[in-house]
Amino acid sequence: MDSFELNKIMGAVLGTLMFVMGVGFLAEAIYHPIEDRGPGYALPEPEVAAAGGAAEAAPEVPLGVLLASASAERGAAAVRKCQSCHNFGEGEPNKQGPNLYHIVGATKAHMPDFAYSDILLQQKADGQVWSYENLNTFLTNPKAYAPGTKMTFAGVRSPEERADILAYLQTLSPDPLPFPAAEEAPATAEEAGTPAESAPGGEVTPAEVTAPPSDSATPTAPAAATDTPSTTQTETNVEGTPAAGGAATQAPAATPATSH
């Protein structure tokens, strides 16, 4: 291949590239968007839902009610997640966490040979004990209940599962601590089925009941009718003496009607 043919090939390649570039510039010039050329159609923005009132939280079930229906068998299955850090048998050694035998009703930091967190040692100095309520709150969120605790467990979110765990922990004692009384949550006015109205002062008063009209009400007696005369009064023209001015005055002679 001589240099002339090579030059032709290179020229063809360069010409093709220049043609492609020229077509690109031409297309950009034709289809380039033109801005600020009169009013345009504003696309609707997505509507942001107005922040409504916070939904009413479901009433919290009292712990005593949950414990009344709790199951120690389910609790024994639920604490399997804790067995990697805790022992539950009497006399068993501590692990990464302390032994939890006879924990219900015991004072905080009850194991003498375990290095507890400072917050638990402080609570023990304050005389706090592991009541059912304290254990339930601790199991819900350990870090929130005892800030600075060494326990890395995130907590048990289900109230029913926590109640089952507490029921199992109750059995780990020679003298089990009774459950707290099962007190039902107070019912609202709607749940009780009693209609109520809001008084002007913000007080809630029972709805007023309008009494139906009594059937024994005595109707008002009509006014006494005026007696209508039964006999037509007879008028008799009596000739009188002419008065001054020449006019004769006639007086009717009235006959009283007889009332029957």
The pTM for the full model equals 0.51
Asked whether residue 119 is assigned to any structural domain, the reply reads: yes
Asked whether residue 21 is assigned to any structural domain, the reply reads: no
Higher pLDDT, 160 or 242: 160
Asked whether residue 150 is assigned to any structural domain, the reply reads: yes
CATH number of 77's domain: 1.10.760.10
At what angle are helices 132-140 and 159-171 packed, to 10 degrees? Answer: 130
Higher pLDDT, 178 or 194: 178
Asked whether residue 219 is assigned to any structural domain, the reply reads: no
Contacts 24+ apart (CB under 8 A), 176-182: 176/104, 177/104, 177/105, 177/132, 179/64, 179/67, 179/68, 179/132, 180/63, 180/64, 180/67, 180/132, 180/133, 181/64, 182/62, 182/64, 182/65, 182/67, 182/68
Residue 204 — φ and ψ, nearest 5°?
Answer: -100, 120
pLDDT digits (tens, 9 = 90+) for 48-91: 655 544 446 567 889 999 999 999 999 999 999 999 999 999 99
Asked whether residue 138 is assigned to any structural domain, the reply reads: yes
How many domains does the structure of the chain reveal? 1
Asked whether residue 157 is assigned to any structural domain, the reply reads: yes
pLDDT digits (tens, 9 = 90+) for 144-160: 999 999 888 889 999 99
**Domain of 75?**
63-171
Asked whether residue 56 is assigned to any structural domain, the reply reads: no
Asked whether residue 167 is assigned to any structural domain, the reply reads: yes
